[in-house]
Structure 1
Amino acid sequence: MEPNASNLHSHCVEITMEVHKVVPPPHRSTFQKLKTRLKETFFPDDPLRQFKGQPPKTKWILGAQYVFPILQWGPNYSLKLFKSDIVSGLTIASLAIPQGISYAKLANLPPIVGLYSSFVPPLVYAALGSSRDLAVGPVSIASLILGSMLRQEVSPSKDPVLFLQLAFSSTFFAGVVQASLGILRLGFIIDFLSKATLIGFMAGAAIIVSLQQLKALLGITHFTKQMGLVPVLSSVFHNTAEWSWQTIVMGFCFLSLLLLARHVSMKKPNLFWVSAGAPLASVIISTLLVFAFKAQHHGISIIGKLQEGLNPPSWNMLHFHGSYLGLVMKTGLVTGIISLTEGIAVGRTFAALKGYKVDGNKEMMAIGLMNIVGSSTSCYVTTGAFSRSAVNHNAGAKTAASNIIMAVTVMVTLLFLMPLFQYTPNVVLGAIIITAVVGLIDLPAAYQIWKIDKFDFIVLLCAFLGVIFISVQQGLAIAVSSPNSFHLQRK
């Protein structure tokens, strides 16, 4: 045994551990650490890397392509891409025209301003934007907030010129805020917006916008300026004498038609054109019905005569002085942040579906500059709209040229087709707005975030219905206890 043991021991390999000294990192001053941290935060993509070692001519070309992304995909644009973009551009134009008129009325602005806002800003974004799917135009949330904030101090009916000036001025300040965030490279801020926050914001805004449409759906002439649930319901029950059964019937029919078209498109994505064309079809059918039966003399409110022609310059209407300067700056800040958040969130969503990246800083500068230019061409706050972008994506858009096609279509409408919208009923525009904002409520995503089971869902549903019931009771109580209060306010 001993020889074997000695033999085994001789074949063992002795393993020795060597200790290596780790060289400590070089000492860096506080300034150097701060410089590195700022570079990682504001310049993670290192935009100057592509310019290193390039001749001057190449640097100029790369610089122009960085500022104007259209110069990157424009030289390689083909007929095949154009066929896809023209189909998607015409499709979103059929949605943009009725939505533009509807959202302008939501903002207490002339309907023609909504169409202007679907003409100039998309052209600017097509040259500066980095998203292939984002369809630009006015949106419901920003329209409602803009109109509500300005209406608190200026009446759009008593002083429409001043109200329009303040709207254009607020749009200018919104653009300055948005572009400044992009220039300062603060695009990373959007990354901190959680999905739960976006879903909650969109859903809450959709409910507020839908409540405001009760005025159009019921045919009420006098309506509250507030956006809360109780004031809206109180205003509805205060004015039961103004309810119009003709308006209610027409609104219910076209709202059902629009929701059915949306349901069909959701069930069968290949039929996306059903949902996209339903708003324009509703406008055409309802306008013909009103014209044929002279329904404007029987309780149906219509848009009225609309101005024709392209955007007149409005830089002389910008209001930078006086007692309303604080109001327009505050309105521009709020609407600018909200519309920017919605635009970038929508752009990134569809970019993720197609597997390309959207530069947050470029998007901020593009959306900001298009609002600055828009404020000088009779446009109000615009951004990337969720409903139009979804239609644009489903229609097969390949580049931002679909925005150009949409803008040209809106231009033709402004030049030649405006008299046709004179008899369009306001109730149908309200139905279009409700159908559009319904898509902002992402119930499946909300369910996944909170991960509630069936019992919790029933409890939450009962709580929600309880709040609604109590609010309705309060509205009825106010209406019964003070039947003349609203009439006194009107006087």
Structure 2
Amino acid sequence: MAHSSMDEEELETKEIDVGRLQSSRVYAEEVPYVPKVEMPIKQNLFKEITAASKEMFFPDDPLREFKGQPGSKKFVLGLQSIFPIIEWGRNYNLIKLKGDLIAGLTIASLSIPQGIGYAKLANLSPQYGLYSSFTPPLVYAFLGSSRDIAIGPVAVVSLLMGTMLRSVIDPIANPAEYTRLAFTATFFAGITQAALGFFRLGFLIDFLSHATIIGYMGGAAITIGLQQLKGFLGIVNFTPNGDIVSVMTSVFVAAPHGWSWQNILIGASFLIFLLITKYIGKKYKKLFWVSAIAPFTSLVLATFFVYITHAQKNGVQTVSNIQKGINPLSANQLYFTGTNLVSGIRIGVVAGMIALTESIAIGRTFASVNDYQLDGNKEMMSLGVMNLVGSVTSCYVTTGSFSRSAVNYMAGCKTAASNIVMAIIVLLVLELITPVFAYTPNAVISAIIISAVLSLIDIKAAVQIWKTDKFDFLACLGAFIGTVFDSVEIGLLIAVTISFAKILLPFTRPPTAILGNIPTTTVYRDIQQYPEATKVPGVLIVRIDSAIYFSNSNYVRERILRWLTDEETQLNAKNLPRIQFLIIEMSPVIDIDTSGIHSMEELNRSLQKRNVKLVIANPGPKVMEKLHASKFTDLIGDENIFLTVRDAVAKCAPQMLEEV
């Protein structure tokens, strides 16, 4: 009996436990758990500023390699960070030497004729193009972190330098002063580049968008090509301006008696030859060397032809006598006082920034292809030091060349030693054969430059930009038109202006969207992107896709109120229930300032007048902290802040039914 009584008690206890469990389950179903938005942990203000500064200037944690290392190891790592040649030089071998030797010889055959031609673009004597193909590559080989970049003069920077320098000093009337200003601009270009790297401000060069660079480069290529018509056609009196109207006017005014058929014949013949070799190099990748050595081959053949025929006495214009010997020192020629100093700083900063943009873009491209990391700030410092040394050794602004870097890569370069090989070849040319260039026709130099800059016109990329983003295409077109129809400075100014406009536009007119429920789910998405999404009766759900700052806070408030008015108008016309709740999805809102909070307070007051309750879903930690600090959470009530839109709708819908 006792045993039976105990069994009944246990059974009764189990029944009670089961009843409690069932009761708790029913309660859980009736009152589901709704997670709330948590307040972020309050951090020390100094730590917040330090963390933000570190993320801005030191996102790559440059000292990570030094942590936990002994003193001797830190010293070696420090030397390697300054001179990357120490790191890759330890493992250098004959296989790498073979690759660098072939690559160096190949890019030297390309850099010599291009160096002479690009110096003429900068309105400098041809030897300065060769000087700039000797010292800077040597310096970069010791300091640079990219193993693929080929250093030397480039078309766009040369044209930019020539145009800006000529606006200050006439290169024909005062060639010595003009050259001094070029060295001064190069010095300050180096200062600018090194400073950006040292202070880790490399993010500034990212303000030029890809689209504007495509347009600017294309416009510069057209401008460069048009200016080569002087040498190509043998025109003596030619406009110093670079815009298409001035150039074509000079061409047609000189026609036909001012044209030289001898120069045209030489230029056209070698241009066709260069284009054919370029086509062969593109079509058959293994024959890339054909197009790589074609410019030097053209230079040699044209020079030999003029030499044996004495064509320079019969109307063929030739390159002026190139001074023999290596770079003379030029430190004493720099301007450090007067108005020319100001001009040198201005030109140097602009040229240095453009040179950086081109070189960093090239370096990142090849680093991605070869799967290694390129430290942008170190790269800027190495380019800066390179140009500083160049400015005191008779060089003008140099940077990485895309065409020569591509050839360097395809030729099988293994390290930056290919630049050393190239520099040695240029040294031999300067010491031994520069007098021969007196017989080099200008027409062949023009043909070499025209064939080189054609690759800067990327029509395929422009078409892709048009298909992808019309605003980007507008930026691309603006930079192109400004460069072609006015000058490279105006094209650059337009490019920078449009780039900044593209950055600022989302902050002044941020995208916003009305959300609806995807059927059979608890997901809420933009009704424009998902037409099947349905609006929740009596609830307007809006998403703001940007931070809310003083520049856009009024727009956001007015945009939301306009939508609310439109919705109410449509509902009244259909005799449907009015809007009772406005839910703002704030997950994309990464930050909000005091103006934004003030605008939200005004929005709440406007909603109260319309008898509409404001509800917020998923504010981020920074936003939540500021809303709490400003007492805005007290204003709308903590119970009206939810983790998800689904939770907000679930809470609002029953209240709406009760009111109805």
TM-score of the alignment, normalized to the shorter chain, above 0.5: yes
Equivalent residue in structure 2 for 1:352, among 359, 368, 371:
368
Larger displacement relative to structure 2 (163-172 or 435-444): 435-444
Residue 188 of structure 2 aligns with which residue?
Answer: 173
Tell me if the contact between 1:139 and 1:382 (Cα under 8 Å) persists in the aligned partners.
yes
Identify which of 117, 138, 147 aligns with 1:123: 138
* Number of the residue aligned with 2:427: 411
The equivalent residue for 1:334 is 350
Match of residue 343 from structure 1: 359
Query: Residues 169 and 319 of structure 1 are in contact (CA less than 8 Å); yes or no, is this contact kept in structure 2?
Result: yes
- 5 Å-filtered alignment, 1:213-224, equals 213-224=228-239
Note the C-alpha offset of 1:49: 2.0
Structure 1 partner of 2:259: 243
AA in 2 matched with 1:433: I
Structure 1: unaligned runs, 5 residues or longer? 1-5, 469-491
Q: Does 1:382 align with 2:398?
A: yes
Q: Which residue is 1:471 aligned to?
A: none
How do 1:422-433 residues align onto structure 2 when only pairs under 5 Å count?
Answer: 422-433=438-449
Please give the alpha-carbon distance, in whole angstroms, between the structure 1 residues aligned to 2:292 and 2:129.
18
Which residue identity does 1:350 align to in structure 2? F
Q: Determine whether 1:208 maps to 2:257.
A: no
**Cross-structure match for 2:492:** none
Offset of 1:451 from its aligned partner? 2.0
TM superposition shift of 1:159 = 1.6
Q: In the TM superposition, what is the alpha-carbon distance from 1:70 to its structure 2 partner?
A: 1.3
Structure 1 counterpart of 2:171, from 150, 156, 178? 156
* Alignment check: 8 A CA contact 1:387 1:436 kept: yes
Pairing 1:126-141 to 2, within 5 Å after superposition: 126-141=141-156
Q: CA deviation at 1:124?
A: 0.9
Call closer, same or farther: CA 1:401–1:139 in 2, change over 3 Å: same
Counterpart contact for 2:205–2:353, Cα < 8 Å? no
Per-residue deviation at 1:252? Answer: 0.8
Greater Cα shift, 92-101 or 325-334: 325-334
2:407 is matched by which residue type in structure 1? V
Give distance in 2, aligned partners of 1:391 and 1:61.
Answer: 33
CA distance in 2: counterparts of 1:131 and 1:71, whole angstroms: 14
Aligned to 1:324, what secondary structure does the other structure show? Answer: helix
* 1:390 CA displacement: 0.9
| Other-structure match for 2:437 | 421
For the 8 Å contact 1:188–1:360, the answer to whether it is kept is: no
Residue 111 of structure 1: CA displacement? 0.7
For 2:279, give the aligned amino acid.
H
1:417-439 CA-partner distances (Å, limit 9, x unpaired): 21222200011101111111111
Contact 1:296–1:302 under 8 Å retained in 2? yes
The aligned amino acid for 2:320 is: G
Give the whole-Å Cα distance in 1 for the aligned partners of 2:250 and 2:203.
Answer: 43
More divergent stretch after superposition (277-286 vs 337-346): 337-346
Structure 1 Cα separation of the partners of residues 152 and 19 of structure 2:
82
- Worse-superposed segment, 235-244 or 336-345: 235-244
Q: What is the distance in 1 between the residues matched to 2:350 and 2:369?
A: 29
Q: Cα deviation per residue 1:36-61 (whole Å; 9 max; x = unaligned)? A: 11101110111112222222111111
Q: Which has the higher contact order (CA 8 A, sep 6+)?
A: 1
Q: Secondary structure, in 3 states, of the residue corresponding to 1:242?
A: coil
CA distances 1:432-482 after superposition (whole Å, capped 9, x unpaired): 111111111222222222128xxxx9xxx9xx9xxx9xxxxxxxxxxxxxx
In structure 2, the CA distance between the partners of 1:355 and 1:12, relative to structure 1 (3 Å rule), is farther
Question: Residue 270 of structure 1 aligns to which amino acid in structure 2?
Answer: K
Verify the 8 A CA contact 1:51 1:59 in the aligned structure 2.
Answer: yes
The residue identity in structure 1 corresponding to 2:210 is K
Indicate whether 1:142 and 2:157 are aligned. Answer: yes
Q: Does 2:27 match 1:27? A: no
TM-score scaled by length of structure 2: 0.65
Aligned to 2:316: 300
Larger radius of gyration: 2
User: Contact 2:288–2:407 at 8 Å: present in 1 too?
Assistant: yes
Given residue 394 of structure 1, which amino acid in structure 2 is its aligned partner? Answer: M
TM-score normalised by L of structure 1: 0.87
Task: Give 2:314's aligned amino acid.
Answer: H
CA distance in 1, matches of 2:96, 2:46: 50
State the Cα deviation string for residues 167-225 of structure 1 (Å, max 9, x = none): 11110011111111111101233444432222112111111111111111111112111
What secondary structure sits across from 1:132 in the alignment? coil
CA distance in 1 between partners of 2:228 and 2:45 (Å)? 57
2:336 to 320, 327, 347: 320
Question: What is the percentage of aligned positions where both structures have the same residue?
Answer: 54
What residue is the counterpart of 1:283 in the other structure?
299
Query: Which secondary structure state, in structure 2, belongs to the residue aligned with residue 308 of structure 1?
Result: coil
SS of 2:456 mapped into structure 1 = coil
Alpha carbons 2:205, 2:356 under 8 Å: kept: no
1:56 corresponds in structure 2 to 71
Stretches of structure 2 that go unaligned for 5 or more consecutive residues are 1-13, 485-660
Shift of residue 324 of structure 1?
1.4
Query: Structure 1 residue 11: deviation in Å?
Result: 12
Say if 2:292 is the partner of 1:271.
Answer: no
Q: Is the 8 A contact 1:135 1:389 kept in 2?
A: yes
1:103-137 Cα distance to aligned partner (Å, 9 max, x none): 11111111111101001100111111111110000
